[in-house]
Amino acid sequence: MTDSIDELDPEVQQLATKVFDLARHGDTDTLAAYVDAGVPVNLTDDRGDSLVMLAAYHGHLDAVIALLDRGADANRVNGRGQTPLAGAVFKGEDEIVRTLLAHGADPAAGTPSAVEAARVFGRQGLLELFRGE
């Protein structure tokens, strides 16, 4: 099965759109059930946003954890070169930042990287976290 919504049949695209909405709204149990039933955990929408990117950006820690526990790529960049970690930094979701780091997210990955985003927004605590201080 493909990881891009653009390559799916129209009926499957409709289901994928529903799954993206579940990630955006943090409906963790239903989202996890769809992934467990075979929806690719790294499925991306037409902008290249993955399920974990959408959950992280919208502040849904439980959904992020559920996706990461099911193998979601914490470093997958979207169509603009952004990572879920940089999105969480941008939105001020510190607990999601810590969770992504614990699952292997690279603070230097993407454009802008999470490190660059933390610098721009004056997030000194996150910069220290990224350096391992």
Q: Where are the domains of the chain?
A: 5-131
Q: What is the pLDDT of residues 99-117, one digit of tens each?
A: 999 999 999 999 999 999 9
Is the pLDDT score of 7 beyond 80?
Answer: no
| Predicted pLDDT of residue 133 | 56
CATH of domain 5-131: 1.25.40.20
Whether pLDDT at 2 is above 60: no
End-to-end CA distance of the chain: 41
Query: What is the C-alpha to C-alpha distance for residues 103 and 65, in angstroms, rounded to an integer?
Result: 9
Phi, psi angles (nearest 5°) of residue 23: -65, -45
Cut 0.85: pTM above it: yes
If pLDDT is split at 50, 70 and 90, which confidence band does 9 have? confident
Render pLDDT for 65-76 as a digit per residue (tens, 0 to 9): 999 999 999 999
